[in-house]
Amino acid sequence: MTETTNQPTQAAGTTARAYGAPAADAPLHALEIPRRTIGAGDIRIDIRFCGICHSDIHFARGEWGDIPYPAVPGHEITGVVAEVGADVTGFAPGDRVGVGCMVNSCRECSSCQGGTEQYCLAGNTQTYGSVDRDGTVTYGGYSDHVVVDQDFVLRIPDGLELDVAAPLLCAGITTYSPLRHWGAGPGKQIAVVGLGGLGHMAVKLAKAMGAEVTVLSQSLRKQEDGLRLGADGYHATSDDATFEALAGRFDLIINTVSAPIDIGRFLNLVKTDGALVNVGAPPEPLPVPVFSLLMQRRTFAGSAIGSIAETQEMLDFCAEHGIAAEIELVGAEQINDAWERVLDSDVRYRFVIDTATL
């Protein structure tokens, strides 16, 4: 077991109760972490709930590169405003708010100026595992409170409960953004690969947008759930007949799986000028057969979360259409078991931590 000790210096502030990993091969346990002093434009949020994302596991176990330890993940955060800085406008103590996958960006590059700060050319500041502009390390939502710049705080609409809204801050926006960008709507055939945390949100959102939705899953084990969530069709990708029957069917395929798949087989299900978009993030490269792209002018693309404005749009859309995540609430002492169940695909469909248990 090894620990990283050369961490950036933390500025004076408060101490938060948290749950985190001291090293890549260590289980999570209770600890204390520093939070920065509230600046003029900052908001202190008392965290009520935090979703568990597969990305948390990849990060904390060092699968995406070297990171500072201890690692405190969590970027599906909902809570209540506890305190605001002197220059904060639009938020007040008691407001119901959320924080997603990023808490800052450079504000100056073409992406930030164009309203797509998730693609900040300098790299946006992630909610955990990044060094913020003031030199502090960012720690995530497996914690009792967090301090965030007002520009990266979302308002949770009254129509959404805080526990089921938490996964919308990652799983919701990660699927909403490509559905909007690639024009999901009436008359469009949309396929969703995988019915997990992201996949179940993609089904709900695409259906609410008016598209015809098909789930492509390894087996038919979750078929009843998929149809209940709004899917019009459900097919097993372990069956070769699926790829014959659905060839050239879809305008858009959203791949939510964070493991290798045969990209060529799935590209052949895409119509001429259609797109296969990856939102799952497997650590291994995915080979792409170029002729599957060339012959029908297909696109293979990726998409990562959404801007703050688009995330607020997504939250409002979900409140308007009665869309929320399907969750299983867990306490702090269950987090390690929940992680193992995520790896075993044994969750329907998102674990959410009740941070009162910290």
Q: What is the pLDDT of residues 118-149, one digit of tens each?
A: 999 999 999 999 988 778 889 999 999 999 99
Q: What is the DSSP letter of 127?
A: S
What's the rounded mean pLDDT across residues 264-292?
94
At a CB cut-off of 8 Å and minimum separation 6, what does 228 contact? none
Give residue 243's pLDDT band: very low, low, confident or very high (50, 70, 90).
Answer: very high
**Percent of all residues in the chain with a pLDDT value above 90, rounded to a whole number:** 88
Nearest CA among 246, 189, 188 for reference residue 217: 246
Q: Tell me how far apart the terminal alpha carbons of the chain are, to the nearest angstrom.
A: 25
Query: What b/e readout covers 116-146, taking b as 16+ CB neighbours within 10 angstroms?
Result: bbbbbeeebbbbbbbebeeebbbbbbbbbbb
270: left (phi over 0), alpha (psi -120 to 50) or beta: beta
Query: Structure tokens of 295?
Result: 């012959």
The whole-number pLDDT of residue 7 equals 40
pLDDT at 276 over 60: yes
Domains of the chain plus CATH, in order, are 13-170+306-357 (3.90.180.10), 174-302 (3.40.50.720)
Query: Structure tokens of 148?
Result: 């965030």
pLDDT at 66 over 90: no
Confidence (pTM): 0.93
The whole-number pLDDT of residue 11 equals 42
How far is 203 from 41, CA to CA, in rounded Å?
37
pLDDT at 5 over 80: no
Q: Which amino acid makes up residue 308?
A: I
Q: Which amino acid makes up residue 317?
A: F
pLDDT, tens only, 167-221: 999 999 999 999 999 999 999 999 999 999 999 999 999 999 999 999 999 999 9
Q: Which amino acid makes up residue 13?
A: G
Q: Assess contact for 163 and 50: CB atoms under 8 A.
A: no
Instruction: Tell me the pLDDT of the chain averaged across its residues.
Output: 94
Bridge partner list, 49: 78, 354
pLDDT at 299 over 50: yes
The DSSP element (H or E) to which 192 belongs, if any, is: strand 189-193
How far is 47 from 141, CA to CA, in rounded Å?
7
The whole-number pLDDT of residue 345 equals 87
Residue 191, SS3 per DSSP: strand
How far is 84 from 352, CA to CA, in rounded Å?
26
Q: Which amino acid makes up residue 96?
A: R
